[in-house]
Amino acid sequence: MSLTALAAAAAAEAHQPIYWVDLGLKNYLFRIGSFELRWYSLAYLAGIMLGYWHLTRMIKSPGAPLAQRHADDLFFYCTIGIILGGRLGYATFYTGGDTGIPSLWADPAALLSLWHGGMSFHGGLIGVLLAMAWVSWRGELDFLRVADYIAVCVPFGMLFGRLANFVNGELWGRVVTNPDLPWAMVFPDAGPLPRHPSQLYEAGLEGLLLIVVMLSLFWKTRARFRPGLLVGVFTTGIACARFTVEFFREPDAQLQDFAARTGLSMGQWLTIPLILLGLALIARALSKPALATVRPITA
């Protein structure tokens, strides 16, 4: 075989896509009979527990707007808000209407069947906001400052959740337009064409990048003394990350027609108000003087 033919064969071999099935991933840690402990469930648990642990560290620093008892309440109510909000948000935004999937609101039993999957980030966000509002009202806390502290912890859950999506081989990306993309991947049930591993893009942008940004702002600056700045940065950052990744993520099957008609996916339309809200919070926080003193919260 000539050198030219060898080079061509080597190039063709180098540009072969990665096959997800060859990675040896399983969507569960172990199985006993019909029971499976799934990585997705563990991802939710790990994100919530790590966020709670970090929150307990944050409230020990000067200027904390809440005490340990408030952190315990937030851990409980935010967990409920994530699960119920995520599920109800999925029922609202991703089923019924023209989606081709019967509305989950019309079937309470299916709505409660969490093991069948289907969670909405935006619904979970609303659930967390309601949980924070309840704890803040009951404890007579400054809601905006509580939101600042919670915002620093949320990216942990985003990182683990998106990695779990990848391990499950779900929520894959669009078919790649560049055949030489070295990390293009063929996913089960997604056809034979290589696609973007958009779950990893989301893990990097919504999770890892925001972890670095939010922790740096909290621990290396006095951002926590400007009410609304941290939650504004988080809201803007995660919304921009989601809007960007949606260009590489395959729209939900039931919403592909919607994306084709409107030019943007459902996820992108839902992030636009978040971007505007985040920018408004940042502008408000920077327009006001930083807190000079903070009323101590009793334990």
Predicted confidence pLDDT, tens digits, the chain (299 residues): 554 444 444 444 556 899 999 998 887 777 777 666 777 778 888 999 999 999 999 999 988 999 999 999 999 999 999 888 887 777 776 666 555 555 656 666 666 555 555 667 778 888 999 999 999 999 999 999 999 999 999 999 999 989 998 998 888 999 999 888 999 999 998 999 999 999 999 999 999 999 999 999 999 999 999 999 999 999 999 999 999 999 999 887 666 777 778 788 888 998 999 999 999 999 999 999 998 766 656 65
Lookup: tokens for 204: 């990097």
- Please name the helix (run of DSSP H) or strand (run of DSSP E) that holds residue 290, with its range, or none: none
Question: For 183, phi and psi rounded to 5 degrees?
Answer: -105, 15
Strand-pair partners of 173: 249
Query: Are 95 and 102 a contacting pair, CB within 8 Å?
Result: yes
Integer Cα distance of 245 and 268 in angstroms: 9
Cα–Cα distance for residue pair 16/25, rounded to 1 Å: 20
What does the pLDDT read at residue 66? 94
pLDDT in tens, 221-265: 999 999 999 999 999 999 999 999 999 998 876 667 777 787 888
Cβ of 146: how many Cβ atoms within 10 Å? 22
Largest CA distance in the chain: 80
Q: Tokens 């839902």 label which residue?
A: 270
202-224 pLDDT, tens digit each: 999 999 999 999 999 999 999 99
Q: Which helix (H) or strand (E) holds 29?
A: strand 28-32
* Ramachandran angles phi, psi of 172, nearest 5°: -70, 170
- 3-class SS of residue 28: strand
Put residue 209 in one of left, alpha, beta given phi > 0 → left and psi -120 to 50 → alpha: alpha
**How high is the pLDDT of residue 3?**
45
Q: Which of 109, 143, 106, 108 is nearest to 128 (CA)?
A: 143
User: Is residue 164 a contact partner of residue 43, using CB atoms and an 8 Å limit?
Assistant: yes
Please tell me the predicted confidence (pLDDT) of residue 123: 82
Q: What is the pLDDT of residue 285?
A: 97
Spatial contact of 160 and 199, defined as CB atoms under 8 Å apart: no
Instruction: For residue 239, give both structure tokens.
Output: 């919304």
Q: What is d(CA 17, CA 23) in angstroms, rounded to the nearest whole number?
A: 12
* Spatial contact of 131 and 81, defined as CB atoms under 8 Å apart: yes
Q: Is 37 helix (H, G, I), strand (E, B) or coil?
A: strand
- pTM for this predicted structure: 0.83
The answer to whether residues 74 and 150 touch, using CB atoms and an 8 Å cutoff, is: yes
The span from the CA of 60 to the CA of 211, in Å, is 19
Separation of alpha carbons 160 and 156, rounded Å: 7
pLDDT of 192 reads 93
Residue 63 is classified by DSSP as: T
Output phi, psi for 55, to 5 deg.
-60, -40
